[in-house]
Chains A and B, each alone.
Chain A
Amino acid sequence: MTGLGTTDGFTTFAATLAFWVAAIASIVAGYMMVFRIKNLVRSALALTTVLGSVAMMYALLGADFLAVAQLVVYVGAIMVLIIFAIFMTPGQIDIPGLVGQGQRIGALLVAIGIGVISVAVVITTPWHMRDSVVDIPTTEAIGGLMLTRYVLPFEIASLLLTVALIGAIVIARED
């Protein structure tokens, strides 16, 4: 079963093309970001590519609200915050920024180990899948859930954001 919620030939083709473009873009950008690019500003731009491609994945998965939230919050806000932080720590941008050879090999082994194990597990597990998927607008349902079943996590998240932002101001303030 495909996850597209459609049997129309052209829509399937367009969605498949969009998936592969976004998947390859995100993996190549992620690879460049951690393996190739030394300059932090360029790494941040590569991460922006990944975030945009992931927003495309959410759209393909029928999560329209989450796709827009990803673009607004991650690409719009968090990346600006990170680039500001890069600019406020001058002289640190171009430093090679990688640990020594030994730790790099260890890191590579850990990352490859986790990657191989999780890919093997997700491919071999017999998932109990739905018979069919339908694309419905999720924003209204998510709004309803936030004020009913998930009202406590929602309020805790609001409190967390308030505390985090006040804390950030207090920590970063010059005095």
Chain B
Amino acid sequence: MEFLVPGLRHFLVLGSILFSLGMYGVLSRRNAIGILLSIELMLNGVTVLFVAFSRFIVSDQELAGQMFGIFIITQAAAEAAVGLAIIIAIYRQRRTVQVDQLDLMKG
């Protein structure tokens, strides 16, 4: 049962799967908040990869991957705050957050 014990590739495959699930969500949702939720899923998949590399790969900079993870979490917070503010402002004006109905700039 040695192959069940989590090693580098287990975490990398998990991160890749989370990223692709998020990618499908981003491309298939019409609700802007649903798209933001899927983006968070993608960011988490990438962060799992960074932290796994930070632990397993030979490097002269210890913890670089974990620092990347922290900065990803920081920018995810900023992105969620601004994105949701924009969505609420759009909702106030157009009464919808379905992205295919937001065609104000269509010629």
Bound together, the chains give a CA A54 to CA B72 distance in angstroms of 14
How many A residues face the partner with a CB closer than 8 A? 91
**B-chain residues with CB within 8 Å of residue A85 when the two chains form the complex:** 33, 84, 87-88
Q: Are A15 and B63 interface neighbours, CB within 8 A? A: no
For residue A10, give the distance in angstroms from its CB to the closest CB of chain B: 13
Q: Which of A113-156 contact B (CB under 8 A)?
A: 114-115, 118-119, 122-123, 127-130, 133, 138, 141-142, 145-146, 149-150, 153
Which residue of the partner chain, among B13, B58, B81, contacts A122 with CB atoms under 8 Å? Answer: B13
Q: Which of B5-36 contact A (CB under 8 A)?
A: 5-14, 16-25, 27-31, 33-34, 36
A residues whose Cβ falls under 8 Å from a Cβ of B = 1-4, 12, 15-16, 19-20, 23, 26-27, 30-31, 33-35, 40, 43-44, 47, 50-51, 54, 57-58, 60-63, 65-66, 69-70, 73-74, 77-78, 81-82, 84-86, 88-89, 91-92, 95-99, 103-104, 106-108, 110-112, 114-115, 118-119, 122-123, 127-130, 133, 138, 141-142, 145-146, 149-150, 153, 157, 160-161, 163-165, 167-169, 171-172, 174
